[in-house]
Chain A
Amino acid sequence: MIPGEFDYHSPQTLAEAISLLVEHGDEAKILAGGQSLIPAMRFRLALPGTLIDINRIDGLSYLREENGHLLIGAMTRESALEESDIVQSKYHLLADAAAVIADPLVRNLATVGGNIAHSDPANDHPAVMLAYGATVMAAGPNGTRRIAIDDFFTDLFENSLEENEILTEIRIPTPAAGTGGAYLKLERKVGDYAISAAAVQLTMSGGTCTAARIGLTNVSPVPMRAKNAEQALVGQTLTDDVIEAAGQAAAAECDPSQDLRGSVAYKRDLTRVMVKRTIRKAMERAN
């Protein structure tokens, strides 16, 4: 099975890539790691007339801390997250997720930017970035702009990037003291998409939760935050009852659909369990 026909461009600079986007409009697709796009093209689920391969643009792959943020270049491979000392030592939530995305061969090519720009609620990074309160940097013909992650995901496979914009960087706030995060995912088979997964980032102060952000994977048509669950935690001592209440809130506010991974009732129930467990793990790390 091979993809449909397309014109192929491999620009050397971001400016060149953007002008190709401007020229080809919605006919064009950006090829990053290709690990979702190429299979989709093979099944003709994606039929771009023009493919803009951004793998040959220098300077889009990096991981560095700057001004209180971790900056992740859009073309940073998932495998680089696993190998990064900064990520492994300080960004536990991200490190957790990096180890459970597809499989190691896919992670050698798959990119962080591609995972987010694909805006698939089954992908792992959307929930992670929602929990971090990350910022997405987008470059277009009129320069670069910031998009808060809360404003980024707009619909199934849809986001607020303009047709002529390229996602270039993701910025994650460096966790403050007392902050801990975790990502837990349940799969039917290792490497599959999540049945349900939870990303939690908590700040604890003197036994009280002062801030909480929770993202959920694959239990809604659009990547989502479990805001009611967050509210159940903030200002509270995280007793078993409080954590259970947060889990129940997440189960109620998620919006899964029935598929081969399970029924709606199961996925809600599992979301409750995953949220609870992830909160506990994040708490341990916060302390």
Chain B
Amino acid sequence: MQITITVNGTTHTRDVEPRTLLVDFLRDHLGLTGTNIGCDTSQCGACTIHMDSQSVKSCTVLAVQADGADLTTIEGLANGSLHPMQQAFWDNHGLQCGYCTPGMIMSATKLVEGNPGISEAEIRHGLEGNICRCTGYQNIVKAVQQAAGEMGGD
């Protein structure tokens, strides 16, 4: 069936099978491979994107459900220069292999909206759905705290 989805500000109309997962639509139909797939059970969060301004795991949404929706993926976050959250992950070594990073950053940007002084406990609670196998999370917490301050609640 035909769907129309806005991704990173560009509107795409495509024919998809109803069973197409949103993450596969982004990766295979639109070539946006920054959104990663790490599991099949909705655990890892590597596929996290923003759908109508909330964070969701795009492996657990059908593309047809997103018909008419406004999506942002990791590719749409930078606006000329890096988004403060992207810069903070870089500056704080908040990544190693980088496979979880796009999902982690997408979760984190939503999480800190309106909360520039976000606490470590709030960050940990908010990032429960994103798994990292490399870093031990400590530098991720630091990165999110730095970016939250810089974003000033935006």
Residues of A in contact with B (beta carbons under 8 Å apart)? 1-8, 10, 31, 34-35, 38-39, 41-43, 51, 53, 55, 79, 102-106, 108-109, 190-191
Which of B60, B67, B111 has the most chain A CB atoms closer than 10 A to its own CB?
Answer: B60
Are A106 and B60 in touch, CB under 8 angstroms?
Answer: yes
In the complex, are the beta carbons of B19 and A4 less than 8 A apart?
yes
Across the interface, do A38 and B60 meet the contact criterion of CB distance under 8 Å? yes
Determine whether B45 belongs to the interface, using a CB cutoff of 8 Å to chain A.
Answer: yes
B135 located at the interface, meaning its Cβ lies under 8 Å from any Cβ of chain A in the complex: no
Instruction: Tell me the smallest distance from the CB of A97 to a CB of chain B, in Å.
Output: 15
Q: Which of B17, B40, B67, B129 contacts A103 (CB 8 A)?
A: B129
Pick the contact of B19 from A5, A35, A39, A190 — CB < 8 Å? Answer: A5
Cα–Cα, bound, A102→B40 (Å): 15
CB neighbours (8 Å) of B98 from chain A are none
Using a CB-CB cutoff of 8 Å, which residues 67-84 of chain B contact chain A? 67
Bound CA span A106–B59, Å:
11
Among all A-B residue pairs, the 8 with the closest Cβ atoms = A103-B129, A8-B18, A105-B129, A103-B128, A3-B19, A1-B40, A38-B60, A108-B54
Judging by beta carbons under 8 Å apart, are B128 and A38 in contact?
no
Of the candidates B24, B45, B61, B125, the one whose C-beta lies within 8 Å of that of A34 is B61
On chain A, the residues within 8 Å of B45 by CB distance are: 103, 105
**Interface residues on chain B, number (Cβ under 8 Å):** 30
- 9 further interface pairs, Cβ-Cβ under 8 Å (given A3-B19, A55-B65, A105-B56): A5-B17, A10-B64, A35-B60, A39-B40, A103-B128, A105-B45, A105-B57, A190-B128, A191-B43
Chain B contacts for A106, CB-based, 8 A: 42, 57, 60, 129
A103 to chain B, nearest CB (A): 3
**A4, A35, A38, A39: which contacts B62 (Cβ < 8 A)?**
A38
A39, B60: Cβ atoms closer than 8 Å: yes
Given A35-B42, A42-B40, decide whether A104 and B126 contact each other with a Cβ distance below 8 A. yes
A sample of 12 inter-chain contacts (CB < 8 A) reads A3-B21, A10-B65, A31-B65, A34-B61, A35-B60, A43-B40, A53-B64, A53-B65, A103-B45, A104-B128, A105-B55, A191-B128
* Interfacial chain B residues near A109, Cβ < 8 Å: 56, 60-61
> Nearest chain-A residue to B41 (Cβ)?
A39
Complex Cα distance, B63 from A169, in Å, reads 27
A53 to B40, CA, bound (A): 21
Contact B129 A8 (CB under 8 A): no
Could you say which residues of chain B place their CB within 8 Å of the CB of A7? 18
State A1–B21 Cα separation when bound (angstroms): 9
Q: Could you say which residues of chain A place their CB within 8 Å of the CB of B41? A: 39
| Chain B residues with CB under 8 A of A3 | 19, 21
Is B60 touching A8 in the complex (CB atoms < 8 A)? no
- Report if B48 contacts A (CB, 8 A): yes
Given contacts A2-B24, A39-B42, A191-B128, whether A105 and B65 have CB atoms under 8 Å apart is no
Contact with A along B16-55 (1 / 0, CB 8 A): 0111110010000000000000001111010010000011
Indicate whether B107 reaches chain A with its CB closer than 8 angstroms.
yes
Tell me, yes or no, whether B1 is within 8 Å of chain A by CB. Answer: yes
Q: Measured between alpha carbons, how far is A270 from B107 in the docked complex, in Å?
A: 34
The CA of A109 and the CA of B65, in the complex, are separated in Å by: 12
B61 touches A38 (CB 8 A): yes
Q: How far is the CB of B56 from chain A (nearest CB, A)?
A: 6
A266 to B62, CA, bound (A): 39
Looking at the assembled complex, report how far the CB atom of B129 sits from the nearest CB atom of chain A, in whole angstroms.
3
Which residues from chain B contact A103 at a C-beta distance below 8 Å? 45, 128-129
A35 to B125 Cα, complex, angstroms: 19
CB distance from A76 to the nearest CB of B (A): 14
- Residues of A close to B48: CB separation below 8 A: 105
Task: Tell me the bound Cα distance from A102 to B128 in angstroms.
Answer: 9
Q: How many whole Å from B24's CB to the nearest CB in chain A?
A: 7
What chain B residues lie within 8 Å of A2 (beta carbons)? 19-21, 24
